[in-house]
Structure 1
Amino acid sequence: MTPTITTCEDDVFGVGKEEDIVTVSCAEGKVGQQQYKCTKGEWVPLQDDCVLEVIKNLEDQSQGITGGDVPKFVEQLNNATLQNDDLVVSSQATVTSIVTILDNIATASVTIEVDQEVMENFLQTVNVLVSPSANAVWNSLNGDTNETRKNASSNLLRAVEKMAGALANEDTYQIVTETLSLNKAVVTEANNLLMINSSEIEIPATELSGRNTSVTVVVFFSLNNVIPVRTLHNSKDNTLNGNVILVNTSQPLDNISLTFEKNNTELANPLCVFWNFDLFNKTGGWDSFGCEPMFDGNITVTCECNHTTSFSILMSPYIPPVAKIALEVITYVGVGISMGSLVICLIIEIIVWRAITKNDTAYLRHVCIVNIAVSLLMADIWFIVGAAVSDENGADAGPCTAATFFAHLFYLAMFFWMLLSALLLFYRIVWPFGNISRLAMMLIGFFIGYGCPLIITVVTVASTAGHDGYINSNNTCWLNWTETKALLAFVIPVLVIVVINLCVMIVVLSKMLKRGVGDTEENSEKQNLKVIAKCVAVLTPLFGLTWGFGIGILIEPDSFGLHVVFAFLNSFQGFFILVFGTLLDNSNCSGRKTTDLNLRIRTNKRGYHISKTSNPSTSSDSSVNI
């Protein structure tokens, strides 16, 4: 039967097969091109580069604009935008084109003094672009892969900042539109507080020192729908919870206080931020450097900053302070319990080492247990170091990167030594009479246990650090996920190891059920294999589950429940290694008894010779020829 081929058919776009792309000219009054893709029998818009012809002409003219041309040109732009406002706010290409024009105008204006009329025309154009009707366009632009479009919101804010700085110093006036307001005033030591709508700007009298300072304040009421929440304190639950306030002063200031009214009083954890145009490859983002929240009331937040630019507040879902303290206690106490259990485990291993490592299997099993314990202990230490060097305001990249590197290395090493335990079990069960020397197995073990994690961590650092993408963008001391997906260098190896270990357990159980371990192994060997099986069967899913919740925290960083579960599970990792790796090993208590009774089976020409030595001090020998 011939498969049906989906086709698209239209009078304008013609006929095409599934996934075909056609390029067509724009409608009358627009210039550029449109692309449509054949999808499920219909031509679906793929990319629209159509710009209103009048706007495109102005964009071309703005490339060579000079300061003297600004007053007339900005009036033409304002008229064209107002007359076509419905078409403007529905077209990504047109919005991007107008932002380019505004930026060219602002650049040319630095050579002149902008008066109130010019500023009114400029802000009326901005008002159309940031109106609620344009929200859908801005959502698309901020998520676009094209750099020019992705930068549009940041470039718009930069253009307004440039124009605010070009205003004539001696003027004092107010401009108000539906989405923003501009106030230009002079502040003195006696009158240093500006109240604009629901916002307050205060300049400490000590900053003025008898000087009259001209201050221009632009308050955006709806820019939270325009400018994205890209921030060094990255969390998808962060919200721009106040107006965006642009402050420009005629004199440099080292201190300024701003009070914002909260848009949503249910949110908490305020973070005072300013728009840093240099972040994220010059696409811009919110930065908290030099800004601190000083007061968090029921409806307002007050911030103090040591510079002037465009400010706002980021807030996230409410977590009670008591809950945050409880979470910190659980985390630190839990990791402390884990570390204490690991130290006890290592002490026990040292004490009974000679008595419990009489055969190769026991020796290699305990080498694995010791290295699992050492790796987790080192990882926990670096976890504590990372938590110590980071706080709610981030951390220095250097110490944080070092802590992340070693935590990454040793957590991976723990899982790779668990893999070696499973492979040892598999080897002894599937090839019971196989014989690889201790030296060869130790060399293989240390290469896999530490060499593979080291290779993975070094490659991860080398491939991401150059882009500042090794650690989280909020400088939390763990692997980055949002920008570079460095976390995959931990997640993928762990998932692979968990799957391999579970497969090994299935194979081992099937083999044991078919013939039983005791059929081919000594009693001591049988005991060691049982203990290895217990370790692999319990620790693999436990550790996998623990880090599953850890990954969940990165996806939902503000989930208090995930933090609590992860902290509890993390606190018992060391404890379970102590219990299942050491305490439940019967040979730790009766190792000498087990090795004192040695059954040896060997062949000779007459048959099998079985000899039994009940005690080294007893010289008698019993033999039976079969």
Structure 2
Amino acid sequence: MPGSTLNLTLLTSQEITNLKWFLWRTGSPSPILLQAGTCVSLTSSRGRALLSIVNITYKWAASSFNTSDSQCFVLAVQRCPAADTTYTCDLQSPGLSPLRVLVSVTIIQGGDTTCPEDSSAGAWNVTKAGHVAQAPCPGNKTGTVKRTCRPDGAWGPNHSSCTDTGLLALLYRARLLRAGQGWPDEEVPQILAQLPDQVVVVTSPSDLLALVNTIKVLAKIVASARIQLNGSALEALLKTTDKVLDMDASSLWTTARAQISAVGSNLLLAVETLACSLCPQDHPFSFGLPNVQLQTQLLRPTLPSDYRVSSSTQPMLQAHIPKHSLAPLGHNGTNVSVTSLMLQKLDHFLPSNYGQGLGDSLYATPGLVLAISIMAGGQIFNKAEVIMDFGDTNGTPHCVFWDHDLFQGKGGWSDAGCQVQAASASPTTHCICQHLTAFSILMSRHTVPKNTLLELLGQVGLGASIVALLVCLGVYRLVWRFVVQSKVAYLRHAALLNVVLCLLAADTCFLGASLLPPGPHSPLCLATAFLCHFLYLATFFWMLAQALMLAHQLLFVFHQLSRHRVLSLMVFLGYLCPMGFAGVTLGLYLPRGQYLGEGACWLDKKGGVFYTFVGPVLAIMGVNGLVLAMAVLKLLRPSLSEGPQVEKRQALLGVIKALLILTPIFGLTWALGLATLLEEVSIVPHYLFTALNTSHGVFILLFGCLMDRKVQEALRKHFCRSQPPNSTISLATNETYIP
């Protein structure tokens, strides 16, 4: 019965040796060998042998899935039903249980919206709106074609699941081999030899999936039965693979991947497995096509030199395995064979899955995958150091390999055991991995190429910012006691002084970070990134403290807080809050390997960690904008009862000027910073971002310090040794309210 299990036991009084089981189909010219497979199990002991076949299907009874004696049963309906009707068809065969099939019939009545008969895109009869018409596949295809009749009576596109019968025949033959029927040593090469002729009939995603599944099943048979393939069988596989990789991505690969996302990963694993199965007699072997290149070398036990291989692909790829990695394999005198397989375009058909540490960004690959395998003494070895050169790459590369076990077996890119190493005196990048598998390189799709002018602009801007901040500190050293004579002025300049100190320390750390060796294993690099995160956040939180102090002065004129209490609150907001943000970020993202960016002592811009910096900054910019709007409205409509004193008014105007000037500068800078993270931006935002971001100190010196009226008067008094005009002194010391 279909789906049941067949058990046959042979009992004999003699010891059983070299026992074979055969399946003899009715009408078949010769018996079929049964071997251990997914459905066949063979066990034997003294005087007893057991054959077990599980999950028997109709394919076990026929040599082909297509039968010529099929019949069509016609139901004659005497009266058309008034509504849609479901008919029941019971099929009875001798010796089998009845098979019940439900057949739904749609009734079209007068006035119903319908799609008209259409023979331009197939034989489509009149169909009721909202229903799906179904027709058999035309020509030498098996399956169905479906087409939806839209509610407005217009036909939708065709959706085909048609598969070429020749491809299906090869797939079913391979599956029967995998199940346990046939002679794998003979039939696997025969099926491979037929694939190049069958690949030309691939015209639909179903055809592509059937072809890839056939190669996948053959690879599993070869791996489980330890079959060795000759050179001609391998050439047939490589020719087929080359044509598959040239197939149209939009019409075939995209739809096939939508049905089975791992179809590219399945093809990669299957071709890898089959390429490693070349019989020793055919070594060395070399075969190249535009999308596929295979090279094998047979190394002597003495292993005189490194293993080196290069490709003629674009981009060009070079790889070599050092002698010290190969030496332990030849200690018993056996030959060592090394196989390298290069596949062009296949990485574009792999799922966009990225393992831990690579973030969730989209990457671009160079269009090349390299797979290397080492065999010694009949065993495959996966542990060896391999050094690869993928040519000149723009942006920050990641050396990765395709791990078939990630994402529940769908596969994904992983950088475990691989690292990037810049080549000396060369613009190329070396990938060094400690294992052998399918390698490639990942690059951010929208990474701005390394720009010497941009780097120089950033360094010069940071240097100018640091000098300006030092000048600002020197100015405060001279005029401090003259500009902080009132509480409001004291708090305003205290906040600005802390902004200067935090930004000076942050810029110094950031400039020094470029001199440190990047990497998560560098404690100094990690400490520098943490300090930069904390200090830049503190700069913005002190700006927030200025804004909140201004808001309090405007809203609560008659409920003033003491200088000590306000300063304590500002210190808490300016230092403890950013310290909390930076500490929590470090604790959350460092254990995941997502804290530091690639090749820099700064936060990783590809993951969520960077938004723990951008988020607070944007929130502060929003609060500052609200306070500025409120301050402008207050100053435009002054009140007699709540008008501040002249000196307080001047200090508040200074705060507003500082916030009004500094807030757009900082806001514009980080708006451009976010623009540089978006897709497909030009180089212009990067230049503007670098110029403004590295010039904060200059703007603070000019607009926050030197343009302050009190600071100017104090400087004139210090350098000119002359008293300012009486009117100025009068305004500075007057305690009455402005009428």
Q: TM-score, normalised by structure 2?
A: 0.61
Q: CA deviation at 1:498?
A: 2.0
Q: Does the alignment pair 1:289 with 2:419? A: yes
2:228 and 2:279 in contact (8 A); partners too: yes
331 and 202 in structure 1: CA distance in 2 versus 1, 3 angstrom threshold: closer
1:180 and 1:221 in contact (8 A); partners too: yes
Q: CA deviation at 1:451?
A: 4.0
Structure 1, gaps ≥5 residues long: 1-7, 17-21, 603-609, 611-626
* Number of the residue aligned with 2:296: 184
Q: Does the alignment pair 1:132 with 2:244? A: no
Pairs within 5 Å for 1:349-388: 349-350=476-477, 352-388=479-515
- Which of 568, 577, 582 is equivalent to 2:691? 568
Pairs within 5 Å for 1:119-198: 119-120=234-235, 122-134=237-249, 137-138=252-253, 149=261, 151-172=262-283, 173-176=285-288, 179-186=291-298, 189=304, 197=312
1:498 and 1:540 in contact (8 A); partners too: yes
2:192 and 2:233 in contact (8 A); partners too: no
String of CA shifts for 1:366-405, please: whole Å, max 9, x gaps: 22212222332333234235433456xx664866554444
1:89 and 1:95 in contact (8 A); partners too: no
Q: CA deviation at 1:532?
A: 0.7
CA distance in 1, matches of 2:453, 2:525: 24
2:448 and 2:683 in contact (8 A); partners too: no
Q: Does the alignment pair 1:86 with 2:202? A: yes
Q: CA deviation at 1:492?
A: 3.1
Q: CA deviation at 1:527?
A: 1.6
CA distance in 1, matches of 2:149, 2:535: 49
CA distance in 2, matches of 1:465, 1:216: 39
Residue type at the aligned position of 1:555: L
Residue type at the aligned position of 1:283: G
Q: Does the alignment pair 1:329 with 2:456? A: yes
Q: CA deviation at 1:530?
A: 1.4
CA distance in 2, matches of 1:481, 1:33: 47
* Number of the residue aligned with 2:574: 449
* Number of the residue aligned with 2:548: 423
Q: Does the alignment pair 1:469 with 2:594? A: yes
String of CA shifts for 1:158-188, please: whole Å, max 9, x gaps: 4433333343344223445563132333357
Percentage identity across paired residues of the two chains: 24
CA RMSD of aligned residues (A): 5.4
CA distance in 1, matches of 2:240, 2:576: 61
204 and 475 in structure 1: CA distance in 2 versus 1, 3 angstrom threshold: closer
Q: CA deviation at 1:539?
A: 0.6
- Identify, as 1 or 2, the structure richer in helix: 1
Aligned residues: 574
557 and 76 in structure 1: CA distance in 2 versus 1, 3 angstrom threshold: same
String of CA shifts for 1:301-339, please: whole Å, max 9, x gaps: 796857655455778999999x84443333223223222
1:50 and 1:93 in contact (8 A); partners too: no
Q: Does the alignment pair 1:433 with 2:558? A: yes
Q: Does the alignment pair 1:585 with 2:708? A: yes
1:270 and 1:296 in contact (8 A); partners too: no
2:195 and 2:237 in contact (8 A); partners too: no
SS at match of 1:289: strand
- Which of 403, 417, 423 is equivalent to 1:277? 403
CA distance in 2, matches of 1:47, 1:367: 71
Q: CA deviation at 1:215?
A: 3.0
Q: CA deviation at 1:528?
A: 0.8
1:35 and 1:45 in contact (8 A); partners too: yes
1:371 and 1:414 in contact (8 A); partners too: yes
* Number of the residue aligned with 1:72: 187
CA distance in 2, matches of 1:450, 1:24: 69
179 and 444 in structure 1: CA distance in 2 versus 1, 3 angstrom threshold: same
Residue type at the aligned position of 2:611: L
2:212 and 2:266 in contact (8 A); partners too: no
Q: Does the alignment pair 1:498 with 2:621? A: yes
Residue type at the aligned position of 2:733: N
1:257 and 1:302 in contact (8 A); partners too: no
- Which of 599, 608, 612 is equivalent to 2:734? 599
CA distance in 2, matches of 1:176, 1:372: 64
Larger deviation: 512-521 or 23-32?
23-32
- Which of 199, 206, 224 is equivalent to 1:108? 224
1:180 and 1:219 in contact (8 A); partners too: yes
SS at match of 1:388: coil
575 and 14 in structure 1: CA distance in 2 versus 1, 3 angstrom threshold: farther
Q: CA deviation at 1:522?
A: 1.9
Q: Does the alignment pair 1:407 with 2:532? A: yes
Q: TM-score, normalised by structure 1?
A: 0.70
Higher-RCO chain (CA-CA 8 Å, sequence separation at least 6): 1
- Which of 513, 519, 529 is equivalent to 2:652? 529
Residue type at the aligned position of 1:504: V
* Number of the residue aligned with 2:673: 550
CA distance in 2, matches of 1:491, 1:550: 9
357 and 81 in structure 1: CA distance in 2 versus 1, 3 angstrom threshold: farther
SS at match of 1:429: helix
Q: Does the alignment pair 1:515 with 2:638? A: yes
2:298 and 2:338 in contact (8 A); partners too: yes
CA distance in 2, matches of 1:46, 1:167: 43
CA distance in 1, matches of 2:144, 2:563: 73
1:344 and 1:578 in contact (8 A); partners too: yes
1:338 and 1:574 in contact (8 A); partners too: yes
String of CA shifts for 1:111-160, please: whole Å, max 9, x gaps: 44444355345445534542232466555788x7x9x72x5434533443
SS at match of 1:515: coil
1:419 and 1:501 in contact (8 A); partners too: yes
CA distance in 1, matches of 2:370, 2:461: 43
CA distance in 2, matches of 1:75, 1:383: 65
* Number of the residue aligned with 2:662: 539
1:89 and 1:129 in contact (8 A); partners too: no
SS at match of 1:214: strand
Residue type at the aligned position of 2:371: L
CA distance in 2, matches of 1:39, 1:475: 57
SS at match of 1:487: helix
1:74 and 1:122 in contact (8 A); partners too: no
* Number of the residue aligned with 2:340: 217
Q: CA deviation at 1:525?
A: 0.8
Q: Which has the larger radius of gyration?
A: 2
349 and 171 in structure 1: CA distance in 2 versus 1, 3 angstrom threshold: same
2:368 and 2:440 in contact (8 A); partners too: yes
SS at match of 1:157: helix
Q: CA deviation at 1:78?
A: 7.6
217 and 445 in structure 1: CA distance in 2 versus 1, 3 angstrom threshold: same
506 and 309 in structure 1: CA distance in 2 versus 1, 3 angstrom threshold: same
305 and 476 in structure 1: CA distance in 2 versus 1, 3 angstrom threshold: closer
- Which of 453, 467, 471 is equivalent to 1:344? 471
Structure 2, gaps ≥5 residues long: 1-112, 116-124, 718-727
Residue type at the aligned position of 1:599: N
* Number of the residue aligned with 1:19: none
Q: CA deviation at 1:515?
A: 2.3
SS at match of 1:132: coil
Larger deviation: 217-226 or 74-83?
74-83
String of CA shifts for 1:409-444, please: whole Å, max 9, x gaps: 332222222122222223323443331233432343
